[in-house]
Structure 1
Amino acid sequence: MSKTQERVGAVNSSGVPAQGHFAGPVTPPRVSARRRRPGVIALSLALIAAGGAGVAVLLLQVGHRTEVVTVVRDVQVGQVVTEGDLGTASIALDPAVKAVRGNDLDSVVGKRAAVELRPGSLLAPSQVTKDNLVKAGEQLVPIGLKPEQVPATALVPGQKVELVHVPAQGAADTGKTSDTRPETIEGRVVKASSAAPGTGIVVVDVATTAEEGPTAAAWVSAGTLRLVLAAPDGN
């Protein structure tokens, strides 16, 4: 037996070469080169480019700011809007938000507030009107509603209502048939106050014709008036 064979064969019972003996030369593992696929590389580059473009667009949108008109003082419904009631701010504006642009500020000065304007809010075009909320030939009748008389639907300017005359308490039996339709007056909400602390009474300003205004006021004084919301289409 040769010396090389003797060295290789000299192993202990565990299969480990015995001390002082050397195994034969060890061949290093073969590493195969990974083949690069041009299609995969091109797809990766395209995804990276698309992601970078998306980030760039987002940064441009965030950085793009628009000057808009803001409300800086309380303005009540029907009140004329002055330049001192308004201000401007530069914000990143969502296209879905309808706001008066800063360069159109002069166009809303002198109009009337169609709704109550509160400080810190953006001014929308629909919140102002060039029309007087109480038109020529109309009268404004204030009506106090108890909590149980206030509709669950919020009363807003422009909402059409009916003022209904009901019999006074204890005077229901007047000889008239019960199926007689009560007297009504058509009106339009101009403003509705918040509920008064303690009583919960809400005061609603209703515009009526000049001829029917005094009648509605008499019903209010006698406590025989009820307010009913008209159908959304006005019929």
Structure 2
Amino acid sequence: MSKIQERLDTAPSGVSQQVRVARPVAPPRVSARRRRPGVIALSLALIAAGGAGVAVLLLQVGHRTEVVTVVRDVQVGQVRSEDDLGRASVALDPAVRAVRADDLQSVVGKRAAVELKSGSLLAPSQVTRDSLVKSGEQLVPVGLEPKEIPATALVPGQKLQLVHVPAQGTTEAGKPADAAVRTIDARVVKASGAAPGTGVVVVDVATSATDGPTAAAWEAEGALRLVLAAPDGS
């Protein structure tokens, strides 16, 4: 008989019973979960889609284009100088047309076809070489006293009417005193700032070639006034 058996036989009954009961404990059986191919395929598809989206975003962020920007406001018809323009590097959508920075010199010296605001990108369609005085038109300078200057700013391209206002108590030769007011359609080409001391503003207006001499004669008489057209130009 082995020594271990002797010890068990001689040990107290309570102790020997506990020793006999103690046995190695088997680990719990864990059943393998069934793998669902559909779920796995969906997970892989989502991971692939997310990776593709991140890749596209990184490409868009990384691909930047040097473009021309407007750094200060430019009125319609105003000739732009290089000081009016700047450069910026942007992630440009293919649908957005903008003047590339390499072409900056090609737009310097051109006129603004529309009003340009500081901070905006410059599009090719926003510039033109055409003058606001078109073929068949004449340019007439009109001097306005401070009380005759509209509170609304005069901007190039704005439509207006030149109104003949004879001095009070006078009439044109051969015309009755109650004759209809005479007007001439015109368009603002440029407006100067107020002259120091007098406050006079000179406005260059474009009229038809047939109306130009008449408008100049009204201006010489001091009998010409400006009436602005509606904001929509009608």
Return the TM-score normalized by structure 1: 0.60
Q: 1:29 to 1:210 in 2, by over 3 A?
A: same
Give the conservation status (yes or no) of the 8 Å contact 2:166–2:223. Answer: no
Give the conservation status (yes or no) of the 8 Å contact 1:77–1:191. Answer: no
Deviations 1:105-158 (A, max 9, x none): 34324423345667665332233211122235411434658699556xx86533
- Match for residue 112 of structure 2? 113
* Distance in 2 of aligned mates of 1:95 and 1:140: 44
* Distance in 2 of aligned mates of 1:97 and 1:186: 37
Question: Which runs of structure 2 are paired with 1:128-143 in the superposition (5 Å)?
Answer: 128-135=127-134, 137-142=137-142
* Distance in 1 of aligned mates of 2:72 and 2:79: 12
- Match for residue 47 of structure 2? 48
Residue 60 of structure 1: CA displacement? 0.8
- The structure having more radius of gyration, on CA atoms, is 2
- Match for residue 10 of structure 1? none
Q: How many residues in Structure 1 have an aligned counterpart in Structure 2?
A: 212
Question: Which runs of structure 2 are paired with 1:5-154 in the superposition (5 Å)?
Answer: 32-71=31-70, 78-82=77-81, 86-114=85-113, 121-135=120-134, 137-142=137-142, 144=144, 149-150=150-151
Give the conservation status (yes or no) of the 8 Å contact 2:163–2:184. Answer: yes
State, as a whole percentage, how many aligned pairs show the same letter. Answer: 67
SS in 2 for 1:123: coil
- Match for residue 157 of structure 2? 158
Give the conservation status (yes or no) of the 8 Å contact 1:78–1:112. Answer: yes
Deviations 1:74-94 (A, max 9, x none): 766545445566454332224
Amino acid at match of 2:92: L
Give the conservation status (yes or no) of the 8 Å contact 1:141–1:208. Answer: no
* Distance in 2 of aligned mates of 1:118 and 1:191: 18
Using the TM superposition, name which of 91-100 and 56-65 deviates more.
91-100
Residue 183 of structure 1: CA displacement? 1.6
Give the conservation status (yes or no) of the 8 Å contact 2:148–2:225. Answer: no
Q: 1:128 to 1:29 in 2, by over 3 A?
A: same
Residue 32 of structure 1: CA displacement? 4.6
The two structures, once aligned, show a CA RMSD in angstroms of: 5.1
Return the TM-score normalized by structure 2: 0.60
Residue 41 of structure 1: CA displacement? 1.0
* Distance in 2 of aligned mates of 1:213 and 1:107: 34
SS in 1 for 2:122: coil
Give the conservation status (yes or no) of the 8 Å contact 2:139–2:204. Answer: no
Structure 1: runs of 5 or more not aligned: 4-21
* Distance in 1 of aligned mates of 2:73 and 2:149: 29
* Distance in 1 of aligned mates of 2:224 and 2:163: 8
Give the conservation status (yes or no) of the 8 Å contact 2:162–2:215. Answer: yes
